[in-house]
Copies of this chain bind each other. A is one copy, B any other.
Amino acid sequence: MHVTSEQRFDDGVLEREFSLGEITGFLWTPESTSTPAPLILISPPPLGLGKMYPRLAGRARYYVADYGFAVATAELPGSGDRPRLAVLDQARADLRRAMEVGEPVTGKIVDALILPLVEKAVPEWQATLDALLALPEICGPVGYEGGIISIGVRLAAVEPRIAAAGLFAGSFVPTVMFEEAREVTVPLQVLLQWDDEGNDRQAALALFDAFGSKEKTLHANMGGHTGVPEYELDAGARFFARHLK
């Protein structure tokens, strides 16, 4: 892990940009702290870290400044400046075409859109976790939150260092993930946008139902995909504070 730049903010947060092989990412930590901070991984939407930076950094700095967490995010495979993934580009083109002509988005398209990303992203998050937990100022237990729910499902199911996960009930969930969800047993807080245009509400409720976790909370809010209310930031922080501290 190489730190490529760093910046100190007057809210007491140190931001470091890092690279780890082909992966680039950001790490936010308390500038001064006597004890290691529990880590939260934020898996970004696949729109490129550059575009997402303001939202991610705002969220991360709130977690660090107000709750004393360390927070890291990393560019997903095929996103931002990383090499394109042909299989994903093809799936996205198929999705666009289906939506343009009003055809149903088939399970085949959804699988092609999500599963290769899950296959690549999950081991990358595990490698990033290895590198981050080697830093003396960071410790477990680790929280995960992210936008592509299937990545969160797989990671929470296979990676024992993840102790709690905040998930966003999004669209395009491969059928196999409903099975994998039963393997997830850590505490969950799941956000659902009630009027999410591209999202099947009943499927989202069924996925919530499928999780094996004894403690799981669904927060359903009004509005579309991008309309998550600001107060869910605080609710997320308090969820992680309960489980990581």
Binding site for B on A (CB under 8 A): 194, 205, 208-209, 213-222, 229, 231, 234-235, 238, 242
Asked if A220 and B222 make an inter-chain contact with CB atoms under 8 angstroms apart, the answer reads: no
Q: Known contacts being A219-B219, A220-B217, A222-B214, is A242 close to B231, with CB within 8 Å?
A: yes
A216 to B222, CA, bound (A): 6
In the complex, which of the residues B213, B222, B242 contacts A215, with contact meaning CB atoms closer than 8 Å? B222
In the complex, which of the residues B194, B208, B235 contacts A220, with contact meaning CB atoms closer than 8 Å? B208
Asked if B229 and A217 make an inter-chain contact with CB atoms under 8 angstroms apart, the answer reads: yes
A110 to B13, CA, bound (A): 56
Query: From residue A188, how far is it (CB to closest CB) to chain B in Å?
Result: 10
Residue of B nearest to A211 (CB): B222
- From DSSP, what is the main secondary structure of chain A's interface residues? mixed
Residues of B near A220 (CB, < 8 A) are 208, 217-218, 220
Residue of B nearest to A223 (CB): B214
Asked if A238 and B229 make an inter-chain contact with CB atoms under 8 angstroms apart, the answer reads: no
A-B CB proximity, top 4 nearest = A218-B220, A217-B221, A216-B222, A219-B219
Residues of B near A213 (CB, < 8 A) are 222
Query: From residue A4, how far is it (CB to closest CB) to chain B in Å?
Result: 38
A229 to B217, CA, bound (A): 10
Asked if A238 and B234 make an inter-chain contact with CB atoms under 8 angstroms apart, the answer reads: yes
Asked if B217 and A219 make an inter-chain contact with CB atoms under 8 angstroms apart, the answer reads: yes
Residues of B near A229 (CB, < 8 A) are 215, 217
A242 to B234, CA, bound (A): 11
Query: From residue A207, how far is it (CB to closest CB) to chain B in Å?
Result: 13
Given contacts A217-B220, A218-B219, 12 further A-B contacts (CB under 8 A): A194-B209, A205-B205, A215-B222, A215-B229, A216-B221, A216-B222, A217-B221, A218-B220, A231-B238, A234-B238, A235-B235, A235-B238
Residues of B near A238 (CB, < 8 A) are 231, 234-235, 238
Residue of B nearest to A209 (CB): B194
Residue of B nearest to A222 (CB): B216
